Homo-oligomer: A and B are copies of this chain.
Amino acid sequence: MAEINKIIHQPARLRIMATLSAIEVDAELDFTYLRNKLELTDGNLGAHLEKLQTSRYIRIRKTFVGKKPRTYISMTRTGRRQFEDHIDALKAIIEGKTG
């Protein structure tokens, strides 16, 4: 039985992971795009991304486009698997298959 993943369950992180899971494997999202889409502050999004990176669920790549710093985020295979397991756990709870 899949279990609730407390790292992923937190609302902002759930939305980050859902957004990343919806794009192709190994594709990246731009930090600014994600911040605007999720309506989070830079600091808030940054803190949640760091937590997800520490758990090895995402990768953060910092680079420059011309002179502008850009940050790209992608989901790891571990992250994708953990996200899917978490969704399975939520579904099981909602459908009454577990406590």
Contacts and interface: CB of A to CB of B under 8 A. Distances in A.
Nearest to A36: B99
Interface stretch (A3-11, A49-57, A72-80): A3-11
Interface of A is mostly: helix
A51 to B, nearest CB: 17
A15 B98 contact: yes
A99 B19 contact: yes
A15 B90 contact: no
Interface in A80-99: 87, 90, 93-94, 96, 98-99
The 8 closest A-B CB pairs, nearest first, are A38-B99, A22-B96, A4-B11, A18-B93, A15-B99, A37-B99, A15-B93, A18-B94
